[in-house]
Structure 1
Amino acid sequence: MDPDSVLKNIAKHIELDENEKSYFLSLLNEKKYLKKSMLLEEGEICRTINFVQSGTLRSFFRDSAGKESTIMFAISDWWITDMACFLNQQPAMLNIEAIEDSNILSLKKEDLDDLYIKIPKFERFFRIIMQNAYVREQIRVIQNLSLTAEQRYHIFLEKYPEISKQVKQKQIASYLGITPEFLSMIRANKSK
């Protein structure tokens, strides 16, 4: 395991001494996922929160007709889980798939709870991560309600240029709540 990336991610919000770093790293499990493999499938108990060391992931919901709606993407230096189910240790509502070969550091729920007790500053770290995620999702909901698909696509490209290069157009369309065909029309209009 190369701990540098996750320690740099943590250092954005809290400072750890060497013992705290060592203890934190001892709780992580490194896992490699091949492209198209699943980290989590709907119905499984969501036991981990995952740090992306390398690769790209997406979480998505599949409705009863089999239609997939992308909830979020995660690239290097991001965290991903089915948060509601992780916190409550319930069956997952979401699926998490590796879009490309990915290297993940996983932290189990019981280890996170232990971490909060032994190194309380981690409560601050994960609070900030969860607040940022909540704000991002709130803004996304408001944009979905108030902006056109074309406006949302342009915002996506500006905000996540690296993701737009790594994922399929149909996955971006799914994230935006439009059909791939409609996204193709938007892209064709943009290039004129």
Structure 2
Amino acid sequence: MNFQPLLNYMKNYVSLTQEETEFLVSKLVYRKYLKGQYILQQGDVSKAQCFITKGCTKMFFVDDEGQEHIIMFSIEDWWTSDLGSFSTQSPTDFNVQCLEDTETIQFHIDSIEEIFEKIPKMERFFRQIIERAFVASQKRIIRNFSMTAKDRYVFFRETYPKIEQRIPQYLIASYLGITKEFLSKIKSQLALEN
């Protein structure tokens, strides 16, 4: 089990002593998932915050008509889970499914308070992560209201170049809130412009 990717990521936010690192690692859970497996399903209660060390996931909800709506994708060095469900321990509205074989390092609900107690700076670390996620979510809402579908796609492609090659086009279309046919038209249009 290699916890180093998470520890390297955390160095951007907090500095841990050797003793704190050892305690933290003793509380972490390493978990592998196969492509197609669910980390979280609608109606379940989220028991872990997952840091992805390898792979790719999609977070989505299914509406009453059975239509899938993609909320976000996550790849290496990103987080996935339903934060609302995790913090309130109530059923989630979302699914998190692996688009590739995926490896995660997980902070479980049973040990998070103990981690915060023993290593108070971990609370600051999580606050910073949550603040960044919240800001990104708000900016995405603004983009959805203020940008054309074409501009949203260009923004997605420029902002997440490593994701586009790994994800089927129909999923990107769902994330952008358009049909796959419309996404094909946008891509054809952009190809002609270049």
Q: Which residue of 2 aligns with 1:29?
A: 29
Q: Which residue of 2 aligns with 1:180?
A: 180
Structure 1 residue 8, shift from structure 2 partner: 0.5
Partners of 1:140 and 1:8 in 2: CA distance:
27
Which secondary structure state, in structure 2, belongs to the residue aligned with residue 166 of structure 1? coil
Q: Which residue of 1 aligns with 2:126?
A: 126
Q: Which residue of 2 aligns with 1:58?
A: 58
Which secondary structure state, in structure 1, belongs to the residue aligned with residue 57 of structure 2? strand
Which secondary structure state, in structure 2, belongs to the residue aligned with residue 23 of structure 1? helix
Partners of 1:52 and 1:163 in 2: CA distance:
14
Q: Which residue of 2 aligns with 1:161?
A: 161
CA contact (8 A) 2:30 2:105 kept: yes
Partners of 2:43 and 2:168 in 1: CA distance:
26
Partners of 1:69 and 1:84 in 2: CA distance:
18
Pairing 1:89-100 to 2, within 5 Å after superposition: 89-100=89-100
Output one character per residue of 1:97-155: Cα deviation in whole Å (capped at 9) or x when no partner. 00000111111113112111110100111111000000101000001000000000000
Amino acid at match of 2:188: A
Q: Which residue of 2 aligns with 1:15?
A: 15
Residues matched between the structures, number: 192
CA contact (8 A) 2:3 2:105 kept: no
Q: Which residue of 1 aligns with 2:150?
A: 150
What is the Cα-based RMSD across aligned positions, in Å? 0.8
Amino acid at match of 2:108: K
| More displaced 10-residue stretch of structure 1: 128-137 or 111-120 | 111-120
Partners of 1:28 and 1:92 in 2: CA distance:
22
CA contact (8 A) 2:58 2:96 kept: yes
Partners of 2:121 and 2:3 in 1: CA distance:
19
Q: Which residue of 1 aligns with 2:189?
A: 189
Partners of 1:80 and 1:93 in 2: CA distance:
14
Amino acid at match of 1:26: S
Structure 1 gaps of 5+ residues are none
TM-score with structure 1 length normalisation? 0.98
Structure 2 gaps of 5+ residues are none
Amino acid at match of 1:53: T
Pairing 1:71-86 to 2, within 5 Å after superposition: 71-86=71-86
TM-score with structure 2 length normalisation? 0.97
Q: Which residue of 1 aligns with 2:103?
A: 103
Partners of 2:70 and 2:20 in 1: CA distance:
36
Give the % identical residues.
38
Amino acid at match of 2:93: M
